[in-house]
């Protein structure tokens, strides 16, 4: 499925885009008024990431950034780390 995190299954959510007019009271106006509400979609921040699998190997997945930051996903190493030759 598109626009869904493959780890936590987070998907798009519906909300409102609120339009206001008027000057705020603390700036000397009479206050702001809501003049319109339209439906909008809040989409998750998905990234295509190469994920290291537990049994070895890697797989490309669509994962939300909150799963990457919280450590649910282990990124695959692109290149073997540098090591000194044994002498």
pLDDT band of residue 85 (cuts 50, 70, 90) is confident
pLDDT cut 90: percent of the chain above it:
76
Domains of the chain, first to last: 13-70 (2.30.170)
What are 13-54's pLDDT values in tens digits?
Answer: 999 999 999 999 999 999 999 999 999 999 999 999 999 988
Q: Is pLDDT above 80 for 1?
A: no
pTM of the model: 0.70
- Identify the pLDDT of residue 54: 87
C-alpha 26/C-alpha 28 separation (Å) is: 5
Q: Whose CA is closest to 16, among 36, 33, 46?
A: 36
């Amino acid at each position: 499925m598109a626009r869904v995190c493959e780890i936590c299954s987070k998907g798009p959510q519906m909300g409102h885009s609120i339009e206001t007019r008027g000057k705020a009271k603390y700036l000397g106006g009479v206050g702001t008024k809501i003049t319109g509400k339209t439906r909008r979609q809040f989409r998750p921040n998905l990234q295509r990431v190469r994920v290291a699998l537990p049994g070895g190997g890697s797989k490309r997945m669509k994962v939300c950034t909150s799963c990457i930051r919280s450590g649910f996903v282990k990124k695959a190493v692109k290149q073997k780390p540098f090591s000194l030759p044994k002498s």
